[in-house]
Structure 1
Amino acid sequence: MRVWTSHLVGFVPMMALTLGVIASFAPGAWATTLEQLTLDEMAQKSTAIVRARVTGSHAATRGADIYTYFQLQVLETWKSSGQASTEVAVPGGVVDGIRQSVSGAPELKPGQEYVLFLWTSRSGLTQLMGLSQGLFKVSEEGSGGGSGVAVVQRPAASELMLNRSGLPVDDHAVSMRLQDLRSRVRQALASAKLEASK
Protein backbone atom coordinates (compact mmCIF):
# COMPACT_ATOMS: atom_id res chain seq x y z
CA MET A 1 0.00 0.00 0.00
CA ARG A 2 1.32 3.45 -0.93
CA VAL A 3 2.16 5.69 1.97
CA TRP A 4 1.90 9.49 2.09
CA THR A 5 5.46 10.26 3.07
CA SER A 6 6.67 9.31 -0.40
CA HIS A 7 5.63 12.76 -1.63
CA LEU A 8 7.86 14.50 0.90
CA VAL A 9 10.99 13.45 -1.00
CA GLY A 10 10.67 16.34 -3.42
CA PHE A 11 9.97 18.91 -0.70
CA VAL A 12 12.43 21.60 0.29
CA PRO A 13 14.12 20.20 3.43
CA MET A 14 13.06 23.21 5.51
CA MET A 15 9.40 22.50 4.80
CA ALA A 16 9.73 18.90 5.95
CA LEU A 17 11.56 20.05 9.08
CA THR A 18 8.97 22.73 9.73
CA LEU A 19 6.24 20.12 9.70
CA GLY A 20 8.35 17.76 11.79
CA VAL A 21 7.96 14.96 9.26
CA ILE A 22 10.87 13.23 7.59
CA ALA A 23 10.62 10.84 4.65
CA SER A 24 12.54 7.65 5.26
CA PHE A 25 12.86 4.57 3.12
CA ALA A 26 12.42 1.05 4.39
CA PRO A 27 12.73 -1.95 2.03
CA GLY A 28 9.52 -2.30 0.06
CA ALA A 29 7.63 0.58 1.67
CA TRP A 30 7.75 4.20 2.69
CA ALA A 31 7.65 4.80 6.42
CA THR A 32 6.87 7.84 8.52
CA THR A 33 9.62 9.20 10.72
CA LEU A 34 8.87 12.16 12.96
CA GLU A 35 11.23 14.88 14.08
CA GLN A 36 10.57 15.48 17.77
CA LEU A 37 9.19 18.98 18.29
CA THR A 38 8.98 20.78 21.60
CA LEU A 39 5.85 22.69 22.52
CA ASP A 40 7.75 25.96 22.04
CA GLU A 41 8.92 24.89 18.57
CA MET A 42 5.40 23.96 17.51
CA ALA A 43 4.01 27.24 18.83
CA GLN A 44 6.65 29.29 17.04
CA LYS A 45 6.69 27.39 13.71
CA SER A 46 2.93 27.01 13.33
CA THR A 47 0.99 29.50 11.22
CA ALA A 48 -2.11 29.10 13.41
CA ILE A 49 -3.11 27.55 16.73
CA VAL A 50 -6.79 27.06 17.44
CA ARG A 51 -9.16 25.37 19.83
CA ALA A 52 -11.85 23.91 17.61
CA ARG A 53 -14.57 21.31 17.28
CA VAL A 54 -14.65 18.91 14.33
CA THR A 55 -17.94 19.24 12.46
CA GLY A 56 -17.41 16.87 9.54
CA SER A 57 -14.96 15.43 7.04
CA HIS A 58 -14.46 14.33 3.45
CA ALA A 59 -11.62 12.64 1.58
CA ALA A 60 -10.17 13.82 -1.72
CA THR A 61 -7.10 13.31 -3.86
CA ARG A 62 -4.35 15.87 -4.11
CA GLY A 63 -2.00 14.81 -6.88
CA ALA A 64 -1.33 11.11 -6.28
CA ASP A 65 -2.11 11.32 -2.57
CA ILE A 66 -5.32 11.03 -0.61
CA TYR A 67 -6.11 13.43 2.22
CA THR A 68 -9.01 13.53 4.65
CA TYR A 69 -10.18 17.10 5.16
CA PHE A 70 -11.74 17.84 8.55
CA GLN A 71 -14.02 20.86 8.89
CA LEU A 72 -13.48 22.90 12.03
CA GLN A 73 -15.69 25.15 14.11
CA VAL A 74 -13.10 27.48 15.62
CA LEU A 75 -13.90 28.23 19.27
CA GLU A 76 -10.76 30.14 20.19
CA THR A 77 -7.74 31.41 18.25
CA TRP A 78 -4.37 31.43 20.04
CA LYS A 79 -2.29 32.32 16.99
CA SER A 80 -3.30 33.45 13.52
CA SER A 81 -1.55 34.41 10.32
CA GLY A 82 -4.55 36.51 9.28
CA GLN A 83 -6.93 34.12 7.58
CA ALA A 84 -8.63 31.76 10.01
CA SER A 85 -8.42 28.15 8.85
CA THR A 86 -11.66 26.21 9.09
CA GLU A 87 -10.28 22.99 7.60
CA VAL A 88 -7.27 20.77 8.26
CA ALA A 89 -5.92 18.10 5.90
CA VAL A 90 -4.68 14.81 7.34
CA PRO A 91 -2.85 12.41 5.00
CA GLY A 92 -4.66 9.17 4.22
CA GLY A 93 -8.26 8.20 3.65
CA VAL A 94 -10.57 6.48 1.17
CA VAL A 95 -11.55 7.80 -2.26
CA ASP A 96 -13.49 5.71 -4.80
CA GLY A 97 -12.75 2.54 -2.87
CA ILE A 98 -8.99 3.19 -2.78
CA ARG A 99 -7.53 3.46 0.70
CA GLN A 100 -4.25 5.08 1.67
CA SER A 101 -3.07 4.50 5.23
CA VAL A 102 -0.41 6.70 6.78
CA SER A 103 1.52 5.73 9.86
CA GLY A 104 1.43 8.58 12.36
CA ALA A 105 -1.61 10.30 10.90
CA PRO A 106 -4.14 11.01 13.66
CA GLU A 107 -7.86 10.32 13.35
CA LEU A 108 -10.10 13.23 14.30
CA LYS A 109 -13.62 12.48 15.51
CA PRO A 110 -16.70 14.56 14.62
CA GLY A 111 -18.04 16.46 17.63
CA GLN A 112 -14.73 16.22 19.49
CA GLU A 113 -12.91 19.35 20.60
CA TYR A 114 -9.16 19.73 20.03
CA VAL A 115 -6.31 22.19 20.23
CA LEU A 116 -4.59 22.12 16.84
CA PHE A 117 -1.14 23.44 15.92
CA LEU A 118 -1.49 24.16 12.20
CA TRP A 119 0.84 24.95 9.34
CA THR A 120 -0.40 26.27 6.00
CA SER A 121 1.82 25.86 2.94
CA ARG A 122 2.15 28.40 0.13
CA SER A 123 -0.24 26.25 -1.91
CA GLY A 124 -2.87 26.73 0.79
CA LEU A 125 -2.86 23.22 2.28
CA THR A 126 -3.29 23.36 6.07
CA GLN A 127 -1.88 20.43 8.04
CA LEU A 128 -1.02 19.52 11.62
CA MET A 129 2.49 20.25 12.87
CA GLY A 130 4.36 16.97 13.23
CA LEU A 131 1.24 14.91 12.47
CA SER A 132 -0.04 13.63 15.84
CA GLN A 133 2.35 15.90 17.78
CA GLY A 134 0.25 18.93 16.84
CA LEU A 135 -3.10 17.57 18.00
CA PHE A 136 -4.37 17.72 21.60
CA LYS A 137 -7.74 16.28 22.59
CA VAL A 138 -9.77 18.48 24.94
CA SER A 139 -11.85 16.79 27.62
CA GLU A 140 -13.23 17.53 31.05
CA GLU A 141 -11.91 16.13 34.29
CA GLY A 142 -13.47 16.28 37.72
CA SER A 143 -17.07 16.61 38.83
CA GLY A 144 -19.87 16.13 36.34
CA GLY A 145 -22.44 18.59 35.11
CA GLY A 146 -19.99 20.65 33.08
CA SER A 147 -18.16 22.00 36.14
CA GLY A 148 -14.93 20.01 35.70
CA VAL A 149 -11.52 21.27 34.63
CA ALA A 150 -10.72 21.28 30.91
CA VAL A 151 -7.62 19.21 30.15
CA VAL A 152 -5.69 18.49 26.95
CA GLN A 153 -4.11 15.15 26.15
CA ARG A 154 -1.92 13.69 23.45
CA PRO A 155 -0.80 10.06 23.43
CA ALA A 156 2.83 9.18 22.79
CA ALA A 157 3.60 8.71 19.10
CA SER A 158 4.28 5.10 18.12
CA GLU A 159 6.28 6.04 15.01
CA LEU A 160 10.06 6.35 14.90
CA MET A 161 11.01 9.73 16.31
CA LEU A 162 14.36 11.49 15.95
CA ASN A 163 15.88 14.43 17.79
CA ARG A 164 17.67 17.33 16.08
CA SER A 165 20.85 15.26 15.86
CA GLY A 166 19.02 12.49 14.02
CA LEU A 167 19.15 10.09 16.96
CA PRO A 168 16.11 7.98 17.93
CA VAL A 169 14.24 9.24 20.98
CA ASP A 170 11.19 8.09 22.92
CA ASP A 171 8.06 10.18 22.75
CA HIS A 172 5.96 10.70 25.86
CA ALA A 173 2.26 11.26 26.36
CA VAL A 174 1.22 14.81 27.25
CA SER A 175 -1.53 15.74 29.69
CA MET A 176 -2.14 19.18 31.22
CA ARG A 177 -4.87 21.67 31.95
CA LEU A 178 -6.14 23.61 28.95
CA GLN A 179 -5.31 26.91 30.63
CA ASP A 180 -1.73 25.74 31.23
CA LEU A 181 -1.29 24.86 27.55
CA ARG A 182 -2.71 28.26 26.59
CA SER A 183 -0.22 29.97 28.93
CA ARG A 184 2.71 27.92 27.55
CA VAL A 185 1.78 28.90 23.99
CA ARG A 186 1.50 32.59 24.91
CA GLN A 187 4.89 32.50 26.62
CA ALA A 188 6.50 30.80 23.61
CA LEU A 189 5.04 33.36 21.22
CA ALA A 190 6.08 36.26 23.45
CA SER A 191 9.63 34.89 23.69
CA ALA A 192 9.83 34.50 19.91
CA LYS A 193 8.58 38.05 19.39
CA LEU A 194 11.11 39.42 21.88
CA GLU A 195 13.94 37.49 20.22
CA ALA A 196 12.92 38.76 16.78
CA SER A 197 12.97 42.37 17.98
CA LYS A 198 16.60 42.19 19.16
Structure 2
Amino acid sequence: MLLTTARAAVVLRLELPQLVQRAERVVVARLVKAGPSFWRGTRIFTSYTFAVERQVAGRGSRQLVVIQPGGQVDGLKQVVSGYPRFEPGRRLLLFLDRAGSAWRVVGLSQGVFVAAERAGHQVWRQRLEGVSSPRGALQPLEIDAREGLERIGRLWRERKARP
Protein backbone atom coordinates (compact mmCIF):
# COMPACT_ATOMS: atom_id res chain seq x y z
CA MET A 1 0.00 0.00 0.00
CA LEU A 2 1.27 3.46 -0.91
CA LEU A 3 0.45 6.28 1.52
CA THR A 4 0.30 9.96 0.60
CA THR A 5 -0.22 12.57 3.29
CA ALA A 6 -0.82 16.30 3.52
CA ARG A 7 0.79 17.05 6.89
CA ALA A 8 -0.68 20.26 8.26
CA ALA A 9 -3.76 22.40 8.01
CA VAL A 10 -3.42 25.96 9.26
CA VAL A 11 -6.86 27.45 9.89
CA LEU A 12 -8.43 30.58 11.30
CA ARG A 13 -10.11 29.81 14.62
CA LEU A 14 -13.89 29.53 14.35
CA GLU A 15 -15.75 30.22 17.59
CA LEU A 16 -19.26 28.86 18.11
CA PRO A 17 -21.05 31.90 16.56
CA GLN A 18 -18.84 31.63 13.46
CA LEU A 19 -19.50 27.89 13.12
CA VAL A 20 -23.25 28.58 13.26
CA GLN A 21 -22.92 31.46 10.78
CA ARG A 22 -21.14 29.26 8.22
CA ALA A 23 -23.36 26.20 8.64
CA GLU A 24 -26.43 25.35 6.59
CA ARG A 25 -27.32 22.61 9.03
CA VAL A 26 -26.35 21.58 12.57
CA VAL A 27 -27.22 18.04 13.70
CA VAL A 28 -26.59 15.43 16.35
CA ALA A 29 -25.82 12.26 14.40
CA ARG A 30 -24.10 8.86 14.39
CA LEU A 31 -22.01 7.35 11.61
CA VAL A 32 -23.75 4.32 10.11
CA LYS A 33 -21.53 3.70 7.08
CA ALA A 34 -18.03 4.73 5.94
CA GLY A 35 -17.40 4.45 2.23
CA PRO A 36 -17.14 4.03 -0.54
CA SER A 37 -13.91 5.84 -1.34
CA PHE A 38 -13.47 7.04 -4.91
CA TRP A 39 -11.21 9.03 -7.20
CA ARG A 40 -12.06 12.62 -8.12
CA GLY A 41 -9.28 13.75 -10.41
CA THR A 42 -5.99 12.99 -8.63
CA ARG A 43 -7.50 12.90 -5.15
CA ILE A 44 -9.30 10.23 -3.18
CA PHE A 45 -12.56 11.11 -1.42
CA THR A 46 -14.69 9.10 0.99
CA SER A 47 -18.40 9.32 1.67
CA TYR A 48 -19.76 8.92 5.22
CA THR A 49 -23.44 8.20 5.88
CA PHE A 50 -24.93 9.48 9.14
CA ALA A 51 -28.24 8.86 10.90
CA VAL A 52 -29.55 12.16 12.28
CA GLU A 53 -30.77 11.88 15.88
CA ARG A 54 -31.59 15.55 16.35
CA GLN A 55 -31.93 18.49 14.02
CA VAL A 56 -30.43 21.41 15.96
CA ALA A 57 -30.54 24.05 13.20
CA GLY A 58 -31.51 24.06 9.54
CA ARG A 59 -33.52 21.45 7.68
CA GLY A 60 -32.88 18.12 6.07
CA SER A 61 -33.54 14.42 6.01
CA ARG A 62 -32.98 11.90 8.81
CA GLN A 63 -29.97 10.58 6.92
CA LEU A 64 -27.14 12.58 5.36
CA VAL A 65 -23.91 11.95 3.48
CA VAL A 66 -20.67 13.83 4.18
CA ILE A 67 -17.95 13.68 1.52
CA GLN A 68 -14.39 14.69 2.32
CA PRO A 69 -10.86 14.21 0.97
CA GLY A 70 -8.94 11.12 2.01
CA GLY A 71 -9.47 7.39 1.93
CA GLN A 72 -8.18 4.27 0.24
CA VAL A 73 -8.69 3.01 -3.31
CA ASP A 74 -6.84 0.12 -4.98
CA GLY A 75 -4.10 -0.02 -2.33
CA LEU A 76 -3.42 3.73 -2.41
CA LYS A 77 -4.26 5.60 0.79
CA GLN A 78 -4.49 9.38 1.07
CA VAL A 79 -4.66 11.10 4.45
CA VAL A 80 -5.46 14.82 4.51
CA SER A 81 -4.68 16.70 7.73
CA GLY A 82 -7.40 18.81 9.24
CA TYR A 83 -10.31 16.65 8.16
CA PRO A 84 -12.13 14.75 10.91
CA ARG A 85 -12.04 10.99 11.32
CA PHE A 86 -15.34 9.29 12.04
CA GLU A 87 -15.94 6.10 14.03
CA PRO A 88 -19.15 4.07 13.70
CA GLY A 89 -21.72 4.63 16.43
CA ARG A 90 -20.03 7.67 17.99
CA ARG A 91 -22.48 10.44 18.85
CA LEU A 92 -21.40 13.70 17.19
CA LEU A 93 -22.53 17.30 16.90
CA LEU A 94 -21.86 18.30 13.28
CA PHE A 95 -21.80 21.77 11.70
CA LEU A 96 -22.38 21.23 7.98
CA ASP A 97 -22.57 23.16 4.75
CA ARG A 98 -23.71 21.97 1.35
CA ALA A 99 -21.23 20.44 -1.11
CA GLY A 100 -23.30 19.62 -4.19
CA SER A 101 -25.69 16.80 -3.32
CA ALA A 102 -23.71 15.92 -0.17
CA TRP A 103 -22.51 17.78 2.91
CA ARG A 104 -19.12 18.84 4.26
CA VAL A 105 -18.00 19.74 7.75
CA VAL A 106 -17.57 23.48 8.41
CA GLY A 107 -14.03 24.58 9.29
CA LEU A 108 -12.46 21.14 8.78
CA SER A 109 -12.37 19.31 12.12
CA GLN A 110 -13.51 22.48 13.95
CA GLY A 111 -17.07 21.60 12.95
CA VAL A 112 -17.13 18.27 14.84
CA PHE A 113 -17.93 17.91 18.55
CA VAL A 114 -18.07 14.59 20.42
CA ALA A 115 -20.38 13.72 23.28
CA ALA A 116 -18.31 13.54 26.47
CA GLU A 117 -18.61 13.72 30.23
CA ARG A 118 -16.82 16.16 32.52
CA ALA A 119 -17.24 15.83 36.28
CA GLY A 120 -20.48 13.89 35.84
CA HIS A 121 -21.86 16.49 33.44
CA GLN A 122 -22.62 15.90 29.74
CA VAL A 123 -20.76 18.19 27.32
CA TRP A 124 -19.96 18.52 23.63
CA ARG A 125 -16.19 18.72 23.14
CA GLN A 126 -14.68 19.96 19.90
CA ARG A 127 -12.56 17.36 18.18
CA LEU A 128 -9.61 19.19 16.67
CA GLU A 129 -7.59 16.86 14.46
CA GLY A 130 -4.60 17.95 12.42
CA VAL A 131 -5.27 21.68 12.63
CA SER A 132 -3.40 24.62 14.07
CA SER A 133 -3.76 28.37 13.77
CA PRO A 134 -1.21 30.97 12.68
CA ARG A 135 -0.79 31.61 16.43
CA GLY A 136 -0.13 27.95 17.29
CA ALA A 137 -2.16 25.12 18.76
CA LEU A 138 -5.92 25.48 19.09
CA GLN A 139 -7.72 24.64 22.31
CA PRO A 140 -10.95 22.69 21.80
CA LEU A 141 -14.24 24.38 22.57
CA GLU A 142 -16.46 22.67 25.11
CA ILE A 143 -20.15 23.41 25.56
CA ASP A 144 -22.80 22.12 27.93
CA ALA A 145 -24.78 19.35 26.22
CA ARG A 146 -28.25 20.86 26.71
CA GLU A 147 -27.52 24.58 27.07
CA GLY A 148 -25.06 24.46 24.18
CA LEU A 149 -27.68 23.13 21.78
CA GLU A 150 -30.11 25.81 22.97
CA ARG A 151 -27.43 28.46 22.37
CA ILE A 152 -26.83 27.14 18.85
CA GLY A 153 -30.58 27.39 18.21
CA ARG A 154 -30.62 31.00 19.45
CA LEU A 155 -27.60 31.92 17.30
CA TRP A 156 -29.31 30.28 14.32
CA ARG A 157 -32.55 32.23 14.84
CA GLU A 158 -30.61 35.50 15.26
CA ARG A 159 -28.73 34.79 12.05
CA LYS A 160 -31.95 34.11 10.15
CA ALA A 161 -33.57 37.28 11.55
CA ARG A 162 -30.80 39.52 10.14
CA PRO A 163 -31.43 41.09 6.71
TM-score bracket for the superposition, by shorter chain length: 0.7 to 0.9
Aligned-partner Cα distance in 2 for 1:86–1:155: 20
Aligned-partner Cα distance in 2 for 1:161–1:73: 31
Larger helix percent: 1
Larger strand percent: 2
Larger radius of gyration: 1
Amino acid at match of 1:102: V
Amino acid at match of 2:25: A
Residue 89 of structure 1 aligns with which residue? 67
Residue 27 of structure 2 aligns with which residue? 50
Aligned-partner Cα distance in 1 for 2:5–2:19: 28
C-alpha contact 2:49 2:63 (8 A) present in aligned 1: no
Q: TM-score, normalising length from structure 1?
A: 0.70
> Among 131, 136, 139, which residue is 1:159 paired with?
131
Which 4+ runs in 1 deviate beyond 3 A?
81-85, 139-142, 155-158
> Among 77, 80, 86, which residue is 2:55 paired with?
77
Aligned-partner Cα distance in 1 for 2:117–2:74: 38
Root mean square deviation, CA, Å = 2.3
Residue 105 of structure 2 aligns with which residue? 128
Aligned residues: 159
C-alpha contact 1:153 1:174 (8 A) present in aligned 2: yes
- Displacement of 1:81 in angstroms is 4.4
Matches within 5 A, 1:114-125: 114-121=92-99, 123-125=100-102
C-alpha contact 1:157 1:171 (8 A) present in aligned 2: no
Given the alignment of the two structures, is residue 195 of structure 1 paired with residue 153 of structure 2, yes or no? no
Aligned-partner Cα distance in 1 for 2:55–2:76: 35
Structure 2: segments with no counterpart, 5+ residues: none
Matched-pair identity in %: 26
